[in-house]
Structures are given as structure tokens and as C-alpha cells.
Amino acid sequence: MNKGYIASSVTVLIWGLTFISTKILLGTFTPVEILFIRFAIGAAVLFAAVPKAFHTRGWKEERWFILAGIAGIFLYYFLENASMLWTSASNAGVIVSTAPFFTALLSGEKKNGWFFIGFAAAMAGIAMMSLSGLTLSLSSLAGDLLALGAAFVWALYAVVTKKISTFGYSSLLTARRSFLYGLLFITVPLIFWNGYGEEREILTLTNTVNLLFLGAFASALCFVLWSAAVRLLGAVRTSVFIYLVPAVTVLASALILGEEITLMSGAGTLITLLGLVLSGRRDGKAR
């Protein structure tokens, strides 16, 4: 099998499972604590991989790395983690996967009818998923909205990283820089939202494995694998694999967490995924 397909498949599998790991860790840690530990590990791994110093050409470039840290590391993952306090991992995984819609809206690229049909279908699917949760708790709607907010913030991050890519720096070094700025901003809410003083078992095998999985594999390794996949397959062909992330999350949520997939939530998931596929069509063909 082509190395690009292997790298893409492994990345998608890991990314799909991140929602499961986060949901498990929320039983012990606050969303901000998970976020800080995850990217502290990720940054350490990237520093070990590329230990050399990195300097930008001044404030005009540095501000973009600051924005990347705020949007892509702090806000996106904070909203994603917090959403799972009130909604299921499967809902969060599917809703966050709509980020390409918002990215396309913010990019200014020309859009055809398929994009708007797909967008409408995805929003309808999300509404069905949210409504299916109302029978259990009204708070699930708040969780779904936070996940949708995370998708929008990721679109902002995509715009920022596109700008950063024009600077000509190594992708590993730019990721490391963004991680560090993200960690800096995460420390602010960490002061106010932590479990300090609470009686809890932190250093359990389950917690350790899931934190290492999120930090070393989902953050650091997957960034390298995805970059390699894009280089080997091209951005368009690699992007198709993104559609599999929510499918992995939904299946893993049922098998590992025991989350129930109702008829309405299942239908909403399928409609949302269909919307993602339709939105990527160009002249009758999927991208």
C-alpha cells in the first residue's frame, strides 16, 4: 500500500479516537487541564524531534503565530473539550467535522451549488442530532453549540496557517511555535478552572495512557504523518480522508463508551456526513 495512504489512515484513526480519550479524561480532569497537559507533551516531543532554535523575521510574522496559538491550539481545543462535558463524544466528533464548511466560507473561494446543498444538509443533520439529545438533557444542546463554535474557530486557524505557510519555514518548527503560544494562553483559564485541592486519582494507568495518546500521538505524531500524506498524495486526495474521522468517532463511542445511537441521531450523523461529501463536489465529481 502507498505510504501516503497508510499515513492518512493512521492519522484519521487516531484523530477519531481523540474524542474518546478526552471524554474518558473528563472524568478526572477539567477541559483546560487536559488541554494544557496534551500540548505540553506535544511541544516536548516536537522539541525533541527538532531541538534547534527558531526565530521569525519580526513582529509582522510573529503575530500570525500568536493568532495560530490562540485560535488553533487554545480556543479550538478548549471549545471541543468543554463541549463534551454536556454532549456525547459522537455528537462532538461529527459536528466538529463541519469545519471545512466554515473554512470555505472564510477563504473567499468561489463556491458552486453543491457547496450550499451540502452545507444545508450538514446543518440539518446537526439539528437532528441535537434534538435527539433533548429527550435526555437540554444541556446537550449547549454542548453541540460549543462543538459548532470549535468548527468555526478551526476555520479561522486554517486561514492563519495558510498565511504562515507563505513564510517558508519548516512545518515542524511552525507547529512548535504555535503550540508554545497556545500553552501560554491556556495558562490563564487554567488558573481559574482546575481541580486543585479536589480528591481525585490522577496518575492512573488509564489517565496516563490517554494523556500520552493525546499529546505524543494525536498532537505531535499525527502532525508529521498528515504533512507526509499531503506531500505524497497531494492536499486534495488527502483531504478526502477527513470524512472518515467522524465515522471512527461514532463507532468507537458506541463500542468503547457505550454511547447509544438513536434512530434520529444516527440519521442526523449520516445526513451530516453526506453534506460533507456533497459540499466537496466539483462539476459533478467529488474532490
Instruction: Please name every residue paired with 281 in a beta bridge, in sequence order, or none if there are none.
Output: 286
| Residue tagged 511552525 (cell numbers) | 174
Please state the rounded mean pLDDT for residues 84-100: 87
Lowest model confidence (mean pLDDT) among 21-25, 103-107, 212-216 = 103-107
- The answer to which of 52-61, 106-115, 174-183, 269-278 has the lowest mean pLDDT is 106-115
**Between residues 151 and 103, the one the model is more confident about:** 151
Between these two residues, 130 and 121, which has the higher pLDDT value? 121
What are the backbone angles phi and psi of residue 204, rounded to the nearest 5°? -90, 165
The alpha carbon of residue 283 and the mean position of all alpha carbons in its chain are separated, in whole angstroms, by: 29
Give the per-residue pLDDT at 194.
83
Which backbone phi and psi does 194 adopt, to 5 degrees? Answer: -145, 170
HSE of 3, CA atoms in CB hemisphere, 13 A: 6
Cα→Cα distances 125→116, 119, 249, 264, Å: 14, 10, 16, 9
243-264 burial, b for 16+ CB within 10 Å, e for fewer? bbbbbbbbebbeeeeebebeee
pLDDT above 50 for 284: no
Percentage of residues of the chain with pLDDT beyond 70: 91
For the stretch 16-37, pLDDT in tens is: 999 999 999 999 999 999 999 9
More confident residue, 243 or 186: 186
pTM confidence score: 0.85
Grid coordinates representing 261 are: 445511537
Give SS3 for 285: strand
Q: What per-residue confidence (pLDDT) applies to 286?
A: 46
3-class secondary-structure state, position 284 = coil
